[in-house]
Amino acid sequence: MAREAEASRILIFGGTGYIGKHMVRASVSLGHPTCIYARPAGPATRPSNLNLRREFHSIGVHIIEGELEEHEKIVAALKKVDIVISALAYPQVLDQLKIIDAIIAAGNIKRFVPSDFGCEEDKIKALPPFEEFLEKKRKIRRAIEAAGIPFTFVTANCFATYFVDVLLHPHDPSDEIVVYGNGEAKAVLNYEEDIGKYTIKVANDPRACNRVVTYRPEPNIISQHQLISLWEEKTGRSFKRVYVPEEDLVKLSQTLPPPENIPVSILHSIFVKGDMMSYEIIEDDLEASRMYAEMQLTTVDQVLDIFLTDPPEPARAAFV
Determine which residue in the list 10, 11, 68, 185 makes contact with ligand NAP, applying CB under 6 A: 68
Q: 39 or 142, CB closer to ligand NAP?
A: 39
SS (H, E, C) 223-262: EHHHHHHHHHHHHCCCCEEEEECHHHHHHHHHHCCCCCHH
Provide the minimum distance between the beta carbon of 5 and ligand NAP in the complex, in angstroms, as a whole number. 31
Provide the minimum distance between the beta carbon of 278 and ligand NAP in the complex, in angstroms, as a whole number. 16
Q: 18 or 239, CB closer to ligand NAP?
A: 18
**Count of residues making up the chain:** 320
3-state secondary structure of 203: helix
Q: Is 52 left (phi over 0), alpha (psi -120 to 50) or beta?
A: alpha
Binding mask 72-111 for ligand NAP (x = CB under 6 A): ---------------xxxx-x-------------------
Catalytic residues: 137
Provide the minimum distance between the beta carbon of 133 and ligand NAP in the complex, in angstroms, as a whole number. 8
Q: 50 or 242, CB closer to ligand NAP?
A: 50
Per CB under 6 A, does 118 bind ligand NAP? Answer: yes
Q: Which own/partner contact pairs does 91-99 have at CB distance under 8 Å and 24+ positions apart?
A: 92/14, 92/68, 93/136, 93/137, 93/140, 94/136, 94/139, 94/140, 95/68, 96/13, 96/140, 97/140, 97/143, 98/68, 98/69, 98/71, 98/74, 99/13, 99/68, 99/74
Provide the minimum distance between the beta carbon of 147 and ligand NAP in the complex, in angstroms, as a whole number. 19
- How many helices (DSSP H) and strands (DSSP E) are in the chain? 12, 13
Per the DSSP assignment, residues forming a β-bridge with 84 are 11, 112
Per CB under 6 A, does 20 bind ligand NAP? Answer: yes
CA distance 58 to 225: 43
Determine which residue in the list 6, 29, 31, 39 makes contact with ligand NAP, applying CB under 6 A: 39
Of 113-121, 122-130, 209-217, 222-230, the window that binds ligand NAP (rule: CB under 6 A) is 113-121
Q: How many CB atoms lie within 10 A of CB 182?
A: 14
Q: 114 near 144, Cβ under 8 Å?
A: yes
Q: How many CB atoms lie within 10 A of CB 190?
A: 27
Between residue 149 and residue 208, which ones bind ligand NAP under the rule CB under 6 A? Answer: 156, 158-159, 162-163
Q: Give kind and range of the element (H or E) at residue 275.
A: none
Provide the minimum distance between the beta carbon of 267 and ligand NAP in the complex, in angstroms, as a whole number. 11
Per CB under 6 A, does 50 bind ligand NAP? Answer: no
Q: 153 or 162, CB closer to ligand NAP?
A: 162
Provide the minimum distance between the beta carbon of 228 and ligand NAP in the complex, in angstroms, as a whole number. 19
Determine which residue in the list 33, 84, 96, 117 makes contact with ligand NAP, applying CB under 6 A: 117
Residues in contact with ligand NAP by the rule CB under 6 A: 14, 16-20, 38-39, 49, 68, 87-90, 92, 115, 117-118, 156, 158-159, 162-163
